[in-house]
Structure 1
Amino acid sequence: MAYDTYMASYLSGATVDQLRRWARNKILMPEVNDHRPLFYSFCDIVAFRAVAKLRAFTSLQRISKALKPLKDQVFTGHLPAYRFGFDGRSIKLWTEDELLDID
């Protein structure tokens, strides 16, 4: 199933402007259709919810910086495949074995 920008915004808790800005800045690209009109997958919605939740604790620049190595290295799954947290100082990624500091 594919969701348009307005439904993705409603389901994720992120604003329409945030979703568009994240796509434009290549922070989170729509999985279904990354050119106009934008269409998002359910995995995208879950990813947006995670980023929106992290955004409540830290800046988008910091989140973007933390996510970049995930895209460039061994973490090749879709963002919802991972568990993130914020301890007040840094963004953490939970793996099966340990907690990684990713920013």
Structure 2
Amino acid sequence: GFPNNSMKAFSAMLGKVVTDKDQLSNVGIDPRLFRAFNVEAVPTYVAVSTDFDLCSGLNCTTSVPTHDKITGNVSVRYVLDTFVTAHGPGAGVASVALRNLSKGV
């Protein structure tokens, strides 16, 4: 769920990680993303290696790029640290987000 069950608090925290308004479009809460990445529990964090196109239908399947994925009640900092230190496919984008989070941006 959202911190303190508040979408407003979630948005404020997200704004500390995603500083460029154009990059906010890279963050999604979309049923198609849940299906594409086989999200069965929340929170689930996914960092992808490249852009990709989601299928637009309700019954279609999207071919997703290589990615890192963590599910559990952990902090954003923990997730980003884990992605970066594992040097997986999402390490690049996680590294940028971690720097932004550390700067308090």
Does 1 or 2 have the higher relative contact order (CA < 8 Å, sep 6+)? 2
TM-score when scaled to structure 2?
0.29
More strand as a share of residues: 1
TM-score when scaled to structure 1?
0.29
